[in-house]
């Protein structure tokens, strides 16, 4: 029997999950969780389920089957404050595998971890393949797939109403002066439109981004357009379909992918279908398009985002202006899937970002994903999920999620002082271990957006801290996103202050920030394979010095980021500097000041 020298409760593995998954070239990636610092070695014993040899047994009338297997040593790939994670990639000639884990404790005792749990080690138990874990067949259709282009993308997010006014003929009534930003109201209009984006594509190209994410552009009464009235029409204050088609074509000509924002959790209260429900009540042919709790249904008029606590019908949050759609209704499902298909086929968009994605049923998203994949190969689907998202990231729903959980840990350490350095590293590692490697490489990493305060504002206008946080994030797996205006030093608190009109007086801005982004984006794209799929090695994590060093490695390529989050200057050995701030060469060392960083090549 095994003893208490090993924390058996911490040992965990699950086939057909983030603990056992296929990647390129039919490599099988196997992962195991154990207690922190509990083992000295983990080995994977693996082989074909049917590859058996026969030897004579003690019983003359009975031969004994021996499992032919290989052994691979598993490497420790991540640690949290409670667990270690081991991983290895192996390949088999046939598309099937049985496997066992052999664990060696600090005292040298060995155990076998099987599909039935932990048992004492013996050669006989291995050779007879006692209760192995199984991957019965490697079906390519079940493999998690990421579009290759996603791994080499840096996104630029635009809130269309506030980016640029390129066509004043489609301005809303009472449009505000573009420079009038002293007090921004939630319902204000400034006249930004699609033509304005087309007119400033040179700015995106010069910056170096190659992905454009637009918040909703479909017909809706608000400035944000999350209260959709008609999913099949461009909002007239933004332009028309011809203008949008031109925008996509111009972006593609520049090598820029285009992702739209889909709001399928709810619809605007001015939509024809909801108005029909209000008029005809339970007799409406759209009555089952929504989640109605009580009849008659209605609400008292409120300002746009004032809560209405009435529960006559389900809504987004407590907003009466955004009734929740019943996506399990076949008619709703058919309509929304047709919307998804239409904008892909007719306008050649490259991705959908899905608003409030975690509040829509999984069956709908599975059909949505199939619709997108049929309409266009290598399509990108990103869900807005603010918490851990394994359920949506098994390859049959989303490609990725907006990686708030990951980037929040970065902000909570560097900016908000809510976490210690070790706690941040633990949380980042924990998040990475929730998902397959391919998933981590496709995540949508944002530090600020239309839903949050701007990063510079969160940094109390400290430009050096701002740069340090961005550089650290650009070294992480996943794809970074620039929120419009960050590259010129725009600031602002939470909504609506984070949605100020883009300041196009570029000559009066400090160009340092623009070129900081430009150079970091270029470094990111040059090393995209390394930074999306390379290993993570925390070389140095010192609370005392405030120094954190992360090495990314893929094959022979390496990049190392060193960040001084302390209050005193730190020194590191001289290396080839590829990006830096507040750092200088001092003899055979590099001197990094407080809030400074160096990204170097070994």
What pTM did the predictor assign? 0.95
Looking at every residue in the chain, the average pLDDT score rounds to: 94
* Structural domain ending residue among the three candidates 142, 159, 179: 142
Is residue 114 in some structural domain? yes
Encode pLDDT of 582-601 as tens digits: 999 988 899 999 999 999 99
CATH number of the domain encompassing residue 320 = 3.90.400.10
The per-residue pLDDT for 1 is 43
Percent of the chain with pLDDT over 70: 96
Q: What is the distance between the alpha carbons of residues 521 and 299, in angstroms, rounded to a whole number?
A: 48
Is residue 51 in some structural domain? yes
Supply the Cα-derived Rg of the chain in whole angstroms.
Answer: 27
Encode pLDDT of 372-383 as tens digits: 999 999 999 999
Is residue 60 in some structural domain? yes
| DSSP state string for 511-539 | HHHHHHHHHHHHHHHHTHHHHHHSEEEEE
Question: Strand locations in 345-402, DSSP E?
Answer: 351-354, 380-383, 400-401
What is the pLDDT confidence band of residue 302, given thresholds at 50, 70 and 90? Answer: low
62: pLDDT strictly greater than 80: no
CATH number of the domain encompassing residue 557 = 2.60.40.1180
Q: Of 384, 437, 448, 487, which one is the catalytic site residue? A: 384
* Structural domain ending residue among the three candidates 278, 297, 324: 324
Is residue 465 in some structural domain? no
3: pLDDT strictly greater than 70: no
Pairing of strands 75-79, 20-22: unpaired
57: pLDDT strictly greater than 70: no
- Crossing angle of helices 511-526 and 463-474, in 10° steps, is 10
Mark whether 384 is an active-site residue: yes
How many domains, the chain? Answer: 3
Pairing of strands 83-90, 257-262: unpaired
Is residue 152 in some structural domain? no
Mean of pLDDT values over 535-560: 96
Encode pLDDT of 469-518 as tens digits: 999 999 999 999 999 999 999 999 999 999 999 999 988 888 999 999 99
* Structural domain ending residue among the three candidates 256, 291, 324: 324
Is residue 43 in some structural domain? yes
The DSSP call for residue 23 is -
Q: Of 84, 261, 350, 355, which one is the catalytic site residue? A: 355
Encode pLDDT of 557-579 as tens digits: 999 999 999 999 999 998 899 99
Mean of pLDDT values over 61-90: 92
What is the pLDDT confidence band of residue 2, given thresholds at 50, 70 and 90? Answer: very low
| DSSP state string for 167-229 | -GGGPPTTPPPTT--SS--TT------HHHHHHTHHHHHHHT--EEEE---EE-SSSS--S-S
CATH number of the domain encompassing residue 126 = 2.60.40.10
Encode pLDDT of 432-442 as tens digits: 999 999 999 99
4: pLDDT strictly greater than 60: no
Q: What is the distance between the alpha carbons of residues 454 and 437, in angstroms, rounded to a whole number?
A: 29
Is residue 96 in some structural domain? yes
The per-residue pLDDT for 305 is 59
Mean of pLDDT values over 409-417: 98
Is residue 163 within 8 A of residue 192, CB to CB? The reply is: yes
Q: Which domain holds residue 294?
A: 269-324
Encode pLDDT of 265-300 as tens digits: 999 999 999 999 999 999 999 999 999 999 999 887
Which residues on adjacent β-strands are paired with residue 230? 219
Is residue 264 within 8 A of residue 316, CB to CB? The reply is: no
Is residue 463 in some structural domain? no
61: pLDDT strictly greater than 90: no
What is the pLDDT confidence band of residue 24, given thresholds at 50, 70 and 90? Answer: confident
Q: What is the distance between the alpha carbons of residues 128 and 63, in angstroms, rounded to a whole number?
A: 12
């Amino acid at each position: 029997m095994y003893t208490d020298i090993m924390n058996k409760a911490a040992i965990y593995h699950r086939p057909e999950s983030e603990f056992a998954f296929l990647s390129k070239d039919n490599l099988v990636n196997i992962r195991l969780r154990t207690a922190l610092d509990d083992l000295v070695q983990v080995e994977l014993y693996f082989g074909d389920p049917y590859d058996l040899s026969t030897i004579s047994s003690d019983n003359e009338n009975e031969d004994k089957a021996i499992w032919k297997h290989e052994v691979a040593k598993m490497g420790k790939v991540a640690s949290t404050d409670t667990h270690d994670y081991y991983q290895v990639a192996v390949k088999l000639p046939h598309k099937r595998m049985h496997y066992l884990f052999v664990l060696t404790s600090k005292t040298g005792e060995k155990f076998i971890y099987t599909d039935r749990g932990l048992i004492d080690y013996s050669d006989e138990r291995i050779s007879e393949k006692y209760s192995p874990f199984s991957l019965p067949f490697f079906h390519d259709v079940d493999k998690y797939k990421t579009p290759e282009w996603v791994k080499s993308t840096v996104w630029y997010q635009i809130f269309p109403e506030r980016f640029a006014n390129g066509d004043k003929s489609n301005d809303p009534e009472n449009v505000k002066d573009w420079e009038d930003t002293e007090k921004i109201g939630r319902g204000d209009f400034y006249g930004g439109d699609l033509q304005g984006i087309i007119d400033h594509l040179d700015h995106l190209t010069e910056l170096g981004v190659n992905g454009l994410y637009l918040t909703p552009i479909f017909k809706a009464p608000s400035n944000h357009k999350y209260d959709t009235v008609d999913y099949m029409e461009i909002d007239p204050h933004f332009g028309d379909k011809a203008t949008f088609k031109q925008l996509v074509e111009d972006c593609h000509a520049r090598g820029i992918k285009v992702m739209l924002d889909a709001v399928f959790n709810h619809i605007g209260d001015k939509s024809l279908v909801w108005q029909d429900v209000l008029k005809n009540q339970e007799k409406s042919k759209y009555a089952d398009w929504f989640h109605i709790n009580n009849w008659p249904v209605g609400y008292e008029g409120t300002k746009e985002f004032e809560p209405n606590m009435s529960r006559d019908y389900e809504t987004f949050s407590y907003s009466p202006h955004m009734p929740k759609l019943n996506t399990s209704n076949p008619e709703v499902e058919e309509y929304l899937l047709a919307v998804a298909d239409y904008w892909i086929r007719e306008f050649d968009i490259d991705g959908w970002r899905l608003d409030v994605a975690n509040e829509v049923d999984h069956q709908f998203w599975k059909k949505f994903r199939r619709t997108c994949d049929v309409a266009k190969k290598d399509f990108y689907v990103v869900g807005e999920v603010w918490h851990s998202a394994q359920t949506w990231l098994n390859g049959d729903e989303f490609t990725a999620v907006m990686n708030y959980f990951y980037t929040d840990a970065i902000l909570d350490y560097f900016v908000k002082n809510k976490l210690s350095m070790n706690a941040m590293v633990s949380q980042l590692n924990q998040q990475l271990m929730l998902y397959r490697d391919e998933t981590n490489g496709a995540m949508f990493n944002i530090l600020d957006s239309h839903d949050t305060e701007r990063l510079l504002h969160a940094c109390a206008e400290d430009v050096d801290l701002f740069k340090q946080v961005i550089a650290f994030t650009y070294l992480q797996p996943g794809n970074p996103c620039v929120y419009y205006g960050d590259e010129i030093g725009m600031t602002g608190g939470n909504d609506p202050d984070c949605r100020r009109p883009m300041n196009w007086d570029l000559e009066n801005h400090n160009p340092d920030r623009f070129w900081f982004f430009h150079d970091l984006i270029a470094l990111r794209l040059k090393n995209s394979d390394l930074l999306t799929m390379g290993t993570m090695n925390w070389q140095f994590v010192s609370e005392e010095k405030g120094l954190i060093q992360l090495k990314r490695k893929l094959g022979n390529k390496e990049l190392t980021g060193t960040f001084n989050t302390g209050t005193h200057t730190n020194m590191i050995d001289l290396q080839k500097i590829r990006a830096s701030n507040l750092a200088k060469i001092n003899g055979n060392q590099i001197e990094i000041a407080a809030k400074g960083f160096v990204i170097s090549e070994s």
